[in-house]
Amino acid sequence: MSKRKDRVCGADVHKDLIVATIVSDDETSIQAKFGTTRAELEQFKDWLVANKCEQVAFEATGVYWIPVYDVLSSFIDTIVANPWQIKTIPNDKSDSKDSKRIASLCLNGEIKRSRIFTEDERELRTLTRARSGYIKTRTQFRNRIHKYLASNGIKLSSSIYDIFGKSGRYILDSLVEEKSIDEILDGIPSGKIRKKRDLIKAALGIGINEISRMLVRDTLDLLDNLEVKIEATSREIFNKLQSKSKDLAIVMSVPGIGFVAGSIILAEIGDYRDFQTPEQLAKWCGLNPGENESAGKRRQCGVTKHGSKYLRTVLVEVAHVVARMGNSRLSRFFQRLKRRKNYNVAITALARKLICLIHHLLANQEMYQEEDCEKGEPKPDVGDHESSSSSMERLEDKVAAIVDAFYHLNARDRKDALKDKFGALPVSEFVPRRPYDGGG
């Protein structure tokens, strides 16, 4: 906890209103209300300065705290608190009481500071979350098309694995354009799919009715617009990650992690140097098991799930991919654990192991590599400052080049590109030196 202050302010922040209370060590208090426009926030700041306030604290309420923090943080020590950690008493709540309670906690140094991302980090995180939202919406639209087809007795997904691939999209467009079944079958671009002619003809049945045709057409147009938005957002994320190109390459060297997953992980973690150990990062992600104690008896429970749900989701998705991989250290770890625990517990443990591994690699600036793979080139002599600087500049150029290439390579080629381009980076053999203990 922070050192006790003599004069502090507690603020209850809402969408259009801020109720602020200044309390002093002599138990005197001053209360005022302010709006949330830029000019009104400047008035709030001037009021704090005029009353010689040493510190101000408020809860992280949605996104409403961000402009307040941006205005105040340059002039006064500002604390953003996790609302879960300073809950109020039920049935005894008002804006005035809340602001005074927060001020009292702040005066006694009982508020734990939340991690605050820089403006650039917040923008990157906003972009990755927006792209995740677009992808979720795209899935909803695709499911809607499946529903329209099924309601007309069309079982296209039973004969084609991906109805939104090249051949599947051709069939959907042809149905919308009211082409005949034979004309649709003759024009399928993939020879492999054309071999399923009889199966596809049976799946299409008598076609689609007028209402469903209109709805499928509109949904396909929305999907096309979404694809453009996803591509544009990915490009903007790529531009934002130029300053973190080396970190992105390191994260993408871990099995199962591509550009999308790597960008989300970096955006949600922010500055990994805020965490001294991998276990601290795993705890911040909500992947550590909770522990309850009562009457001297301790009982472990499920993971706490405190932290970013976006980061936990992508780590679990990567864990599912790694679990299905061949003979690798990570997949063997999962298989060993699955024999003793159920599948979901083993996947969660693998996700925790991945985030611990990522922290170790980033902290040591190492590339992931299995111990039986080809080792990287030796490091340059650190005693020669000029030679070391020159090598690092060349390495930065390599990183920038490969990250640019990552956007255009398929997943199978990315690992080979990493090994070819990053020989100068040290590699981790997965059972590395301390402080990383495997995160198991």
**Residue bearing the bigger pLDDT, 60 or 305:** 60
> Average pLDDT over the chain, rounded to whole?
83
Please name the fold of domain 120-238. Helix Hairpins (1.10.287)
Q: How confident is the model at residue 420 (pLDDT cuts 50, 70, 90)?
A: low
Is residue 271 predicted with pLDDT exceeding 80?
yes
One DSSP character per residue, 92-139 reads: ---HHHHHHHHHHHHHTT--PPPP---HHHHHHHHHHHHHHHHHHHHH
Is residue 401 predicted with pLDDT exceeding 60?
no
Is residue 25 predicted with pLDDT exceeding 50?
yes
pLDDT, position 373: 41
Report which residue type is found at 189.
P
Which has the closest alpha carbon to 277: 362, 387, 202, 205? 362
Rg (CA), the chain: 28
Is residue 416 predicted with pLDDT exceeding 90?
no
Is residue 169 predicted with pLDDT exceeding 60?
yes
| Integer Cα distance of 433 and 437 in angstroms | 8
Which has the closest alpha carbon to 58: 3, 127, 116, 118? 116
Least confident of 61-65, 302-306, 320-324: 302-306
Q: How confident is the model at residue 195 (pLDDT cuts 50, 70, 90)?
A: confident
Is residue 76 predicted with pLDDT exceeding 80?
yes
Is residue 126 predicted with pLDDT exceeding 90?
yes
pLDDT, position 252: 92
Which has the closest alpha carbon to 86: 104, 71, 74, 72? 104
| Integer Cα distance of 94 and 31 in angstroms | 14
Least confident of 156-165, 251-260, 405-414: 405-414
- Confirm if 398 and 424 have CB atoms less than 8 A apart: yes
Q: What distance separates the 2 farthest-apart alpha carbons in the chain?
A: 88
**HSE-up (13 A, CA, CB side) for residue 141:** 20
**Residue bearing the bigger pLDDT, 406 or 201:** 201
pLDDT, position 62: 87
Is residue 312 predicted with pLDDT exceeding 80?
yes
pLDDT, position 411: 47
Q: How confident is the model at residue 379 (pLDDT cuts 50, 70, 90)?
A: very low
Characterize 325-336 residue by residue with b for buried, 16 or more Cβ atoms within 10 angstroms of its Cβ, and e for exposed: eeeebbbebbee
- Identical fold, 7-107 and 120-238: no
Region 176-198: what's the mean pLDDT? 87
pLDDT, position 436: 38
- Confirm if 423 and 378 have CB atoms less than 8 A apart: no
In the chain, where the domains are located: 7-107, 120-238, 244-428
Q: How confident is the model at residue 406 (pLDDT cuts 50, 70, 90)?
A: low
pLDDT, position 305: 79
Please name the fold of domain 7-107. Nucleotidyltransferase; domain 5 (3.30.420)
Is residue 290 predicted with pLDDT exceeding 50?
yes
Q: How confident is the model at residue 440 (pLDDT cuts 50, 70, 90)?
A: very low
Q: How confident is the model at residue 26 (pLDDT cuts 50, 70, 90)?
A: confident
Distances (CA, A) of 155 to 11, 99, 150, 182, 200: 58, 59, 6, 17, 8
H-helix or E-strand spanning residue 314: helix 309-323
pLDDT, position 363: 94
The pLDDT tens digits for 221-255 are 999 999 999 999 999 999 999 889 899 999 999 99
pTM: 0.79
Is residue 58 predicted with pLDDT exceeding 60?
yes
Q: How confident is the model at residue 161 (pLDDT cuts 50, 70, 90)?
A: confident
- DSSP H stretches of helix in 325-384: 329-338, 343-364
Is residue 431 predicted with pLDDT exceeding 80?
no
| Integer Cα distance of 173 and 244 in angstroms | 41
**Residue bearing the bigger pLDDT, 397 or 233:** 233
- Confirm if 56 and 48 have CB atoms less than 8 A apart: yes
The pLDDT tens digits for 335-344 are 999 998 889 9
Nearest 5°: the CA angle 292, 297, 299 is 40
